[in-house]
Amino acid sequence: DRGGGSSGSGRDITKPWDRGLVIRLQCFIVSVILLVMCGVGLFAAIVVDTYWFYERWLDKQWGFALEEGQPFTAPVWMGEFGYLNHGPFWLMFMRYLSSRDVDFAYWAINGIKYSEGFNGADGVYRPLPGGARWVVELYGILGPDWQTVKKAWMVRDLQALMDSPSRWLPTDIGCVTDFL
């Protein structure tokens, strides 16, 4: 039954969000894999150096699912993204999330993490010299004491994205020594 009503299984499929892609998948959750796509888009956007390109890249990859009233419209959750500085990627990504009012989970809040090793620039895993231990979490919002906010600019940006509709604007550029 494509026009609405019951599918014969007793399931009501008249809701506009319960058609097309969602009817088969039940939920369209965007997560860590999207970060890879965003990274590829970032690389291309840096080469092309425009938000216009980056926006179209993300729309093509997964942003299309946010378009209201389409058979493919689905809820999107941007899971676990992180970045080290208030640079071009962060600003373009915040602008995109804000313009589409995308919900998200930031990674990571913790100031330290337990590590046994790391992947080098060549992609090869290397154990930490001296063995596993607690190390500073570079992407963490908090400092190693779990109380100090080490990236106030990030907290301000993420808080602005939490409002619906988002109130994030790329006008408040923080700096490394900027504390709340």
Contact between 168 and 95 (Cβ < 8 Å):
yes
Q: How far is CA 166 from CA 49, 111, 139, 169, in A?
A: 24, 27, 23, 9
Residue 8 has pLDDT above 60, yes or no: no
The structure tokens listed for 44 are 């291309």
Ramachandran bin of 165, using left for φ above 0, alpha for ψ from -120 to 50, beta for the remaining angles: beta
Q: What is the pLDDT of residues 108-136, one digit of tens each?
A: 899 999 999 988 889 899 999 999 999 99
Percent of the chain at pLDDT exceeding 70? 67
Which residue is associated with the tokens 């399931």? 11
**Considering the entire predicted model, what is its pTM?**
0.67
The structure tokens listed for 74 are 């689905």
